[in-house]
Structure 1
Amino acid sequence: MSLLFLLVFFTLNYHLQADLVADTCKKVDYPDLCLSTLRSNPRSKSADLKGLVHIAFDAALAKSTNTLNQIMLLLKKTNDPIVKKYLTTCASLYGDAVDYIPQAIRFVGSDNLQAKAYGGAALDDALDCEDTFTTGELGKRKSPLTASNNVVKQLVINALEIVNSLG
């Protein structure tokens, strides 16, 4: 009898967690990215809403770090002085974003306003990097970072919207 109870309990718990991820992702601007981000992380199976925020911000941090590494590689390859200047600006911005996201994570649940402030600063950094190329003071250039900037933007927006669900 107790084995049957445990089986039912764990099956029910699994479905409730799957529903938490689905319900959470329905409320964000980029639900497909939210679902793929949260479901790809094994921690989401046992996470509460606060845990899902951590996973979402962790994904944003990983993509921001990858983007910063991409920028450093592009800086070594480019010969265009304007693009080099814009990439240098983006490197500084993403350096800040990589510092801000762990701060956002640190405040989740204890001071959600601070979490949103740090997350918002990281979002601004991704947006500002893209704007550097599209409205640059030295002339417009095609951004080699558009795809990465967009993913970082979407990941951070999703994380911030999940923070809003915490109240």
Structure 2
Amino acid sequence: MASMRFLHMSFFFFFLVVLVLLVSCAHADDKSQVEKACGQTPHPDLCVSCVNSDPSRSTSEIPELTFEILFCMMSEATHGHEVADLQAQNTSKPNLKQALQTCNVSLFSASYDLTDSLMRMEGEDYQKAEADLKSANTAVLQCYKAFYKEPVVIIPPQLFSHVDLAARYYDVAHVFFRLIRK
């Protein structure tokens, strides 16, 4: 009787060890796939960081990774829009106010385009999702350009951070869309 109990416990322990090994191997394989895909982009560390920020991600397929990058870009554009709006309300410098207002509108537009892109990704309409991404990038660049019109206007660092990250996420997403087309 004791040996039967020992046998059951041994089997249970063996099964548990095998299960843990399988899960860890699958996680390592997933991590390897993410690093390989992100390694093809101009910003691999940013890419890996964004993709790994979503624990609910179920696969490492390029379309799902692209969705994650688009979401990170949308988050940066949205936060940038909020920063530009707040700073535009709180400045008394007319040139800075104008640049911030332009940036505010541009980043709001980028957020909207990226929302459309995400919905198209869910519907597997990759061509239109990429077109929305390009439109969003144009809007992000309009924010940069708003500060180059006036040489005395410097983009505030907090806003620059969001705009710069959004632009770099575009670079990553652009590569992923190229991989989807292959």
Scaled by the length of structure 2, what TM-score is found?
Answer: 0.81
1:142 aligns with 2:154: yes
1:99 paired residue number: 112
> Which residue, out of 51, 55, 59, partners 1:38?
51
1:68 paired residue number: 81
> Which residue, out of 59, 64, 69, partners 1:51?
64
Give, in whole Å, the separation in 1 of the partners of 2:146 and 2:90. Answer: 19
Q: Post-superposition shift, 1:149?
A: 1.3
Q: What amino acid does structure 2 have at the position aligned with 1:150?
A: D
Whether contact under 8 Å (1:18, 1:45) holds in the other structure is: no
1:152 paired residue number: 166
> Which residue, out of 23, 29, 32, partners 1:16?
29
Whether contact under 8 Å (1:123, 1:157) holds in the other structure is: no
Whether contact under 8 Å (1:30, 1:158) holds in the other structure is: yes
Q: What amino acid does structure 2 have at the position aligned with 1:152?
A: A
Task: Determine helix, strand or coil for the equivalent of 1:162.
Answer: helix
CA deviation vs aligned residue, 1:113-154 (integer Å, no higher than 9, x gap) = 2111111111111111111111x1xx3221123332111100
Q: What amino acid does structure 2 have at the position aligned with 1:95?
A: F
Task: Determine helix, strand or coil for the equivalent of 1:146.
Answer: helix
Whether contact under 8 Å (1:22, 1:35) holds in the other structure is: yes
Q: Post-superposition shift, 1:164?
A: 2.0
Give, in whole Å, the separation in 2 of the partners of 1:124 and 1:142. Answer: 20
Give, in whole Å, the separation in 2 of the partners of 1:43 and 1:96. Answer: 28
Give, in whole Å, the separation in 2 of the partners of 1:21 and 1:59. Answer: 16
Task: Determine helix, strand or coil for the equivalent of 1:42.
Answer: coil
Scaled by the length of structure 1, what TM-score is found?
Answer: 0.88
Whether contact under 8 Å (2:76, 2:163) holds in the other structure is: no
Unaligned runs of 5+ in 2: 1-13
Whether contact under 8 Å (1:14, 1:45) holds in the other structure is: no
Unaligned runs of 5+ in 1: none
Larger radius of gyration: 2
Q: Post-superposition shift, 1:3?
A: 4.1
Give, in whole Å, the separation in 2 of the partners of 1:122 and 1:112. Answer: 15
2:131 paired residue number: 117
Q: What amino acid does structure 2 have at the position aligned with 1:116?
A: E
